[in-house]
Amino acid sequence: MSSNTQSQGIKVNPSATFITKYAGFLSGGLGACCAVTFSNPFEVVKTRLQLQGELIKNDQIVNRQQNLPQALKLIFQHEGIKGLQRGLGAAYGYQLIMNGTRFGFYDVFKNVIISNFSVTSTAATLVSSIGAGAMSGVLAAFFGSPLFMVKTRLQAFSPHLPVGTQYKYSGVFNGLKEIHKENGVRGWFRGSVPAMVRTGVGSAVQLTSYDYIKKSLIQSGSFEEGFYVHATSSLLCGILVCSAMNPFDVVTTRMYNQPVDAITGKGKLYRSMFNCFASTLKTEGVRGFFKGFTAHYFRIGPHTVLTFIFMERIKVLLLKLQ
């Protein structure tokens, strides 16, 4: 039998080809879903703290939830575990779409930039990583915008501790249905611009700093490839991500949650992302952009650690299935 005949007799496993091609999408999405199960309570607190005292001067806010521990305690006392895990279904969907797209396209965009611009130096490689992270984040935020909006509104709702505009959705699909009923498909993407900026900034910082910190720790000789370097890199990366993202996160939360005029379809509080920035700065000062910062870090820190850990483990398992 000739070698040509032998090669023709070899069958390629379609599932193995699929796994190889989409390992980044699958591991990124599934890893983030596993992580958000543990980080969602902090996301609920962050959302409510960012909406608390919206467009109200700090000295005029009453019955405020002072900090992360107090907020967690109050939500648990009044709403139980259900309150702490509000919007979890929407969070799963969002993480699957957003992180699957973000992690999946990161390497694609990075390779395109490097190959087309002949990137060779360390500095140029870093710039290409930032660009790839930003582009993949912006694309992911656009696709995930409808679910992020529903998640925000579900998490803000509380019969006992209401903050911001209250939307009584029974779940993810009911939320999507109600938004579409009021404003059509366009309504699903209201607030997507600040969300895209938010995620673009966060992705550029996260994906770039994680790679850089991880390589630096290993090169220092203090760490070897494995759990501890992943966890340490993720925690340090989380500080940078949270600092860069929080102002955009506050604006995104408020744009998504603001009431909408039923006739004009326009927001009643903010005309645009820039108007939201200006209104928040005028009324609440710079501090307004860092509301919920601690809850944001406690959400991002563990979430980043768990996402990368689950992602790397899932990717290994997927490649073993080939």
Q: What is the CATH number of the domain that holds 41?
A: 1.50.40.10
Spatial neighbors of 319 by CB under 8 A, at least 6 apart, are 19, 20, 23
Give residue 147's pLDDT. Answer: 96
Q: Is position 141 within any domain?
A: yes
What's at 30, amino acid-wise?
L
Query: pLDDT at position 251, please?
Result: 96
Measure the CA–CA gap between 187 and 180, rounded to whole angstroms: 6
Per-residue pLDDT, 19: 63
Catalogue the long-range contacts made by 81-87 (C-beta closer than 8 Å, 24 or more residues apart).
83/44, 83/158, 84/40, 84/41, 84/44, 85/40, 85/41, 85/44, 86/44, 86/154, 86/155, 86/157, 87/40, 87/43, 87/44, 87/150, 87/151, 87/152, 87/154, 87/155
- What contacts 217, CB < 8 A, 6 or more positions away? 223, 229, 232, 233
Least confident range of 7-16, 102-111, 253-262: 7-16
What pLDDT is stored for residue 183 in this prediction? 87
At 76 the pLDDT is 95
Question: Is 83 a domain residue?
Answer: yes
For a pLDDT cut of 90, what percent of the chain falls above it? 42
Please check the confidence at residue 227 and state whether its pLDDT lies above 50: yes
Residue 7 lies in a domain: no
What pLDDT shows up at residue 5?
47
Range of the domain at 205: 13-320
> What's the confidence (pLDDT) of residue 6?
47
pTM: 0.81
Look at residue 92 in the predicted model and tell me its pLDDT: 95
Between residues 7 and 213, which one has the greater pLDDT? 213
> What is the mean pLDDT of the segment spanning 274-279?
95
Q: Please enumerate, as own/partner, the contacts of 10-19 that have beta carbons within 8 Å and a separation of 24 or more.
A: 13/322, 15/321, 16/321, 16/322, 19/318, 19/319, 19/321, 19/322
| 125 assigned to some structural domain | yes
Residues 77-100 pLDDT 10s: 999 999 999 999 999 999 888 877
Report the SS3 class of residue 267.
strand
Q: Which residue has the higher pLDDT, 154 or 229?
A: 154
Question: What are the phi and psi torsion angles at 168 (to 5°)?
Answer: -95, 65
d(C-alpha 235, C-alpha 304), whole Å? 7
pLDDT band at 7 (very low <50, low <70, confident <90, very high): very low
Report the pLDDT averaged over residues 7-13: 50
Q: How many domains does the chain contain in total?
A: 1
pLDDT at 74: 92
Q: Is the pLDDT of residue 129 over 90?
A: no
pLDDT of residue 256: 95
- Please report whether residue 232 resides in a domain: yes
58 — pLDDT class (breaks 50, 70, 90): low
Residue 39 lies in a domain: yes
Distance CA(185)–CA(190), nearest Å, equals 9
Decide if 8 is inside a domain. no
Q: From 151, 156, 150, select the one nearest 175 (Cα to Cα).
A: 150
Question: Is residue 5, in this structure, part of any structural domain at all?
Answer: no
* Predicted pLDDT of residue 208: 75
